[in-house]
Amino acid sequence: SQRKVLVAGGAGYIGSHTAKLLRSKNIEPIVFDNLVTGHRSSVRWGPFVHGDILDTSTLTRALLQYKPDAVVHFAASAYVGESVEDPAKYYRNNVSGTLALLDACRHAAIDKIIFSSSCATYGTPESLPITETTPQAPINPYGRTKLIVEQILKDYAAAYQLKYVALRYFNACGADPDGELGEWHEPETHLIPRALLAANGTIPHLAIFGDDYETEDGTCVRDYIHVTDLARAHVLALEHLVNGGGNLSVNLGTGCGSSINEIVSAIGRIIKRDVPVEMHPRRAGDPPALYTDPTFARETLGFSPEYSDVETIIKTAAPFFGLESRT
């Protein structure tokens, strides 16, 4: 019979791109989403169940109805700053929400889960690049919720024969190369969409948060990974689990860091428009540099990025902001 996956949070940015890719691999994505931050119009590749991750009975019913082979779990709150202001929301949605999902999985005898973790679990690492054995020491509530869920998964795997892959994303960015999906957050806080909003005149300028970091040009360095590459990592993780592979926690990035200044000048070069910028003080809680060692993802999942060069990232993201690339 056809393979099926329940995609919790499948109306969101990374979840919707993953649902589309699953469908293209002949795996039916059943999207479960409360549409608080996700978009109904991004659910186009399979059935939709409107529900909240905290609602175990609705979740259990969906799992019993569709009998998916696995659950891919994106449903979470994901603003670092908001997690400092309102930690209760983050512990509720991200930790209690995952517990509710895991209860539903146990009721419905679903034993495979792929979890959206984050490089935020590493906090400010002592050395670079970040490997999977770099100590995890988050510096904000968001990162702590992701680390706590990783620990819960480990305990559940030991006690209940759950199988899991935790994927620690670096900086998700870019958009569907076919132009059917894009990055759509409200409010938008991420660097590349903010820069494109400045380029198209929606906002007066891009605020650059700090140019006095201990990095080559003084601005923060991040490992930008294209959302379609992240989506493919989920398909690989699913194959890994279905083929009897063991539990894994894997970093997903390119291994290359780009500074804010490098991203801004690449955007200017590729769309042939200036990105108006204004220098601002540092944003609280930003580590100076984060980039991964991509070896473990390659060895365990056979994952290597295909769309994550800065040019492809910008060329796929730009049309969503009414901008054309002109190279």
Interface positions with ligand UFG (CB under 6 A): 78, 80, 118-120, 142, 171, 189-191, 194, 206-209, 220, 222, 260, 283, 286, 290
How far apart are CB 263 and ligand UFG at their closest, in Å?
8
How far apart are CB 289 and ligand UFG at their closest, in Å?
9
Decide if 284 contacts 239 (C-beta within 8 A).
no
Residue 160 annotated in active site: no
Catalytic residue, chosen from 142, 164, 224, 307, is 142
How far apart are CB 142 and ligand UFG at their closest, in Å?
6
Q: Which residues contact 252 (CB under 8 A, 6 or more apart)?
A: 167, 168, 169, 170, 225, 229, 230, 233, 292, 297, 303
The alpha carbon dihedral of 302, 22, 20, 78 has a sign of: negative
CB-wise, 27 or 206, nearer to ligand UFG?
206
Residue facing ligand UFG at closest CB distance: 220
CB-wise, 70 or 191, nearer to ligand UFG?
191
CB-wise, 199 or 206, nearer to ligand UFG?
206
CB-wise, 10 or 138, nearer to ligand UFG?
138
First to last CA, the chain: 46
Buried b (16+ CB within 10 A) or exposed e, 7-20: bbbbbbbbbbbbbb
Greatest CA separation for the chain: 57
How far apart are CB 204 and ligand UFG at their closest, in Å?
12
Token pair, residue 67, equals 């009998």
Q: What are phi and psi for residue 264, nearest 5 degrees?
A: -65, -40
Return the active site residues: 142
